[in-house]
């Protein structure tokens, strides 16, 4: 019996967002909007996105005993996420500094804070949760050794693993081998593959499959996504929407994808659904506040 449809192991940040007419060049100062503070972090975002859609979701993460930590736990609880394993300590909650331009594109700098203190021991303490979930979803805003520990525990338990390697970093072969799928955008694919990456999503997917994952998903922004396995690749277009803010759109995509894979969808079907969720998420400002319900996805 699965205790949760999805267990997310990852980060929880407070997003500090400023809208600007354009991003500053080196040494330049520009004026922006009033500062807005939103709950975010790739792990918390994925958990909230899945829970909003109806998934039974839990999060393993660390926050600080501070106002930002309380903001995050409140948002997670309101969305229906199980926060039993959201651990609190003396280190400040992680913070993301985000600028958003008029097209909705963003630039982000992250101060990891408590996220950097999520340890393999914390993962070991949640082994029963890992074993009882249908899918475990991970990112790289927590220490790589903790990601590797979660992959090892999930593999041992037979739990499916979804990994978004963001921010991108070199991954151990055993981590790559556990991914089903690894989910990347163009930047992440190019960093992982290096100078021989190629110039097309199909080339990136082929190169990543050669590194060991069982499947690959390449997100293509407004163009949709590409799903790849050893049997071939399929491009899935996105609905056309007016983008207001792309912050968190990739996280909503991955959370939705992980949930639908755990529910039994094949990869292409799950990606087709996740593309619609990502499209719905860019229609509103912020990250978690913009994530759609199942009904809102159906309206696209």
Annotated binding site for substrate: 13-15, 41-45, 141, 251
184: phi then psi, degrees, rounded to nearest 5: -135, 155
Is residue 229 within 8 A of residue 215, CB to CB? The reply is yes
Distances 201 to 38, 118, 140, 215, 258 between C-alpha atoms, Å: 32, 33, 22, 14, 21
Q: Which residues are annotated as a binding site?
A: 13-15, 41-45, 141, 185, 219-224, 245, 247, 250-251, 281, 284, 286, 290
Report the sign of the C-alpha dihedral through residues 63, 65, 66, 69, in that order.
positive
Is residue 180 within 8 A of residue 214, CB to CB? The reply is yes
Separation between Cα atoms, residue 9 and residue 60, nearest integer Å: 5
Tokens of 94: 């992680």
Residue 297 host element (H or E): helix 294-298
Q: Which residues are annotated as a binding site for ATP?
A: 185, 219-224, 250-251
Active-site annotation holds for 251:
yes
Catalytic residue among 5, 25, 251, 266: 251
Is residue 254 within 8 A of residue 185, CB to CB? The reply is no
Task: Give me the half-sphere count of Cα atoms (radius 13 Å) on the Cβ side of residue 117.
Answer: 14
Residue in this structure with the two tokens 């903001």, named with its chain if needed: 71
- The angle subtended at Cα 282 by Cα 297 and Cα 293, nearest 5°, is 30
Separation between Cα atoms, residue 63 and residue 117, nearest integer Å: 9
Size of the chain, expressed as the number of residues it contains: 300
Residues with catalytic roles: 251
């Amino acid at each position: 019996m699965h205790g949760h449809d999805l267990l997310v192991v990852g980060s929880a940040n407070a997003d500090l967002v400023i809208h600007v007419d354009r991003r500053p060049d080196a040494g330049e100062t520009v004026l922006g909007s009033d500062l807005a503070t939103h709950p975010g972090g790739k792990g918390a975002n994925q958990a909230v996105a899945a829970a909003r859609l109806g998934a039974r979701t839990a999060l393993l993460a660390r926050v600080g005993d501070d106002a930002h930590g309380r903001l995050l736990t409140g948002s997670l609880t309101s969305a229906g996420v199980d926060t039993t394993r959201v651990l609190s300590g003396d280190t400040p909650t992680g913070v993301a500094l985000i600028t958003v331009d008029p097209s909705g594109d963003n630039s982000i700098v992250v101060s990891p804070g408590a996220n950097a203190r999520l340890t393999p021991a914390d993962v070991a303490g949640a082994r029963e949760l890992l074993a009882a979930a249908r899918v475990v979803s991970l990112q790289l805003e927590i220490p790589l050794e903790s990601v590797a520990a979660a992959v090892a525990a999930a593999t041992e338990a037979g739990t499916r693993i979804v990994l978004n390697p963001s921010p991108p970093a070199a991954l151990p072969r055993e981590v790559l081998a556990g991914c089903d799928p690894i989910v990347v955008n163009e930047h992440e694919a190019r960093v992982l593959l290096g100078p021989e990456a190629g110039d097309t999503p199909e080339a990136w997917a082929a190169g990543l499959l050669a590194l060991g994952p069982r499947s690959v998903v390449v997100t293509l922004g407004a163009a949709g996504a590409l799903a790849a396995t050893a049997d071939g690749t399929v491009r899935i277009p996105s609905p056309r929407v007016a983008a207001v803010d792309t912050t968190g759109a990739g996280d909503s995509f991955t959370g939705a994808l992980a949930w639908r894979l755990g529910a039994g969808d094949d990869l292409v079907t799950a990606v087709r659904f996740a593309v619609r969720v990502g499209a719905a998420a860019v229609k509103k400002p912020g990250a978690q506040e913009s994530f759609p319900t199942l009904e809102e996805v159906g309206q696209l």
